[in-house]
Chains A and B, each alone.
Chain A
Amino acid sequence: MGAATLDLFAAALIDAEMPLPAGITTARGGADAARFAVYRNNVHVGLTNALSQRFPVTERLVGVEFFRGMARVYVQDRKPASPLMFEYGEDFPDFVAGFGPAKGLAYLADVARIEAAWSRAYHAADAAALEVADLAVLAPERLAETRLRRHPAAAVLTSEHPAGSIWAAHQTEPVATVAARRPETVLVARPDATVNVHVLPETDAAFAAALIAGATLGEAAEAALADSPDFDFGAALVGLVTLGAFAAT
């Protein structure tokens, strides 16, 4: 009987419209909705809090009340796949992108993507970062066909909005001003103990995205030159390496 009991319990737990599960009782006898509501509330509040911890800037941008309402809809249909709560909300940014009431904030989903990447970087495997000195040993004639290995904590995100600047502006109290409305490419990296979010120079965006995706240095440089003719290969490569985008070989 135990199996059926837990099935009913779980079903009633996640659907507040369902009647109380059969078989639960109290010392007085008979079910009590206020008591079962404690479990429903625990599940709901626990998952909502997990999102609020992982997406604090998203929450600041829309306000606590709006965020809770948005999270309620997400939490209702998407329970965590595992007990590792720091992984919960991987597709929350995509959900935000499609959430009608937030449509006025076009940049919101991209800010959430930075926050998702931030916590992935925080928990990622440790690895020594490639250093600028390591580049010196690369043979010049082999440079074009060299593939650098993405550091386990590194990610590049491209946005049609100044998502990186908006994220950075909300790390302080009061919120700083974001000057320009323009597309941004962001590198999230944790070469050592601290997760950093960098807005990359516009000319380096295509280069960085290509390298992180596994392109050779030659392929990435071609993509960058097609995108911006004044692309500076040396400066861009040294810049990315310095920020900890790649793992030591």
Chain B
Amino acid sequence: MTTSNKTQALPPRAGLGLKPQHYEAILSGEPDVGFFEIHAENYMGAGGPPHRYLEAIAARHPLSLHGVGLSIGADRPLDKAHLARLRRLVDLYRPASFSEHLAWSTHDTGFLNDLLPLPYTPETLARVAAHVDETQQALGRRMLLENPSTYVLFAESTIDEIDFLDAVADRTGCGLLLDVNNVMVSAVNHRLDPFAYVDRFPVARVGEIHLAGYDETTDEAGDRLLIDAHGTPVKTDVIELYRHALSRTGPVATLIEWDNDVPDFPTLKAEADRADGLIAAEAARRGAARARAA
């Protein structure tokens, strides 16, 4: 299924994750934020304050719906009840974007509450593509699929991660969400060049970028091990990688993810302002290049 998302795209601005502790600051301060992104699962209750605030905030800002629990990469059918809950949110709030992860999180024992890695094989490719297709059918719209951060590799993998994502997009018409922090985390963890990863990424499919802070430790071999932690400002090397990514994608909606040890709203807004500055600089650079060419 291929659906045009021209009217549904997020603006090429920096956005912020919506946190309950900031509801009042956002409504009273009317900050200039490009968009707000929510974790869909936090708004799957029947009613109450979450929906009231979201309704008010979505009336003022573009909204991005970001799922963390669909388990698209799992080796079992998608949860139809969960798809229906997502559809309800899409119908209620008409988000400009819906995205989910190339990962799994549900197994026999229940929901594991983490974005877990999968091997990249022709079999898993077929399954993920079928799940993305089913999701897009159920929601009646195109989705973005996000590249993961990973700490291990699978011996059985035969397909490169970028080729895998590109093939899913090719088969389903979905777009891609380029998480630049995940690129840094996975590249360092697997001894790859993060800039080379971004250079190979199919940027024409990118509908959104994610930025976040990582934590750092070492593995048993003493190698650097980066952890996708979402609890600090974006690190300098990720900003540099983001600048490089922007030079390829052009100005594109960029989310600051700060989900743990959430700071006060002005601190979060400052992170968005920094990304907005980089997006504007890229727009200016492209404008100047066009002027020179004309």
**Which residues of A pack against B, CB within 8 Å?**
1-3, 5-7, 9-10, 13-14, 23-28, 31-36, 38-39, 42-43, 46-47, 50, 78-86, 121-126, 152-153, 190, 193-194
Interface readout for B104-117 with A: 1 if CB under 8 Å, 0 if not?
Answer: 11111111111010
Contacts A2-B127, A6-B74, A27-B153; A39 near B116 (Cβ below 8 A): yes
Distance of A31 Cα from B221 Cα, bound (Å): 10
Contacts A2-B121, A2-B124, A79-B110; A28 near B221 (Cβ below 8 A): yes
Interface readout for B67-91 with A: 1 if CB under 8 Å, 0 if not?
Answer: 0111100110001001000000000
Residues from chain A with Cβ under 8 Å of B156 in the complex: 1-2, 5, 23
Contact check, A43 vs B47: say whether CB atoms are below 8 A apart: no
Residues from chain A with Cβ under 8 Å of B49 in the complex: 122, 193-194
Interface centre among A6, A121, A122 (most CB of B within 10 A): A6
A-B contact pairs, 6 of them (CB 8 A): A5-B119, A10-B112, A28-B191, A35-B219, A126-B47, A126-B48
The 6 closest A-B CB pairs, nearest first, are A83-B69, A123-B45, A79-B110, A126-B47, A125-B46, A10-B107
**Which residues of B pack against A, CB within 8 Å?**
41-42, 44-52, 68-71, 74-75, 79, 82, 104-114, 116, 118-119, 121, 123-124, 127, 151-156, 189-192, 217-221, 223, 225, 227
Distance of A176 Cα from B107 Cα, bound (Å): 44
In the complex, what's the smallest C-beta–C-beta distance from B152 to chain A, in angstroms? 4
In the complex, what's the smallest C-beta–C-beta distance from B157 to chain A, in angstroms? 9
Q: Which of A9, A10, A80, A123 contacts B46 (CB 8 A)?
A: A123
Residues from chain A with Cβ under 8 Å of B191 in the complex: 27-28
Q: Which of B50, B82, B118, B189 contacts A6 (CB 8 A)?
A: B118
In the complex, what's the smallest C-beta–C-beta distance from A244 to chain B, in angstroms? 13
Contact check, B190 vs A26: say whether CB atoms are below 8 A apart: yes
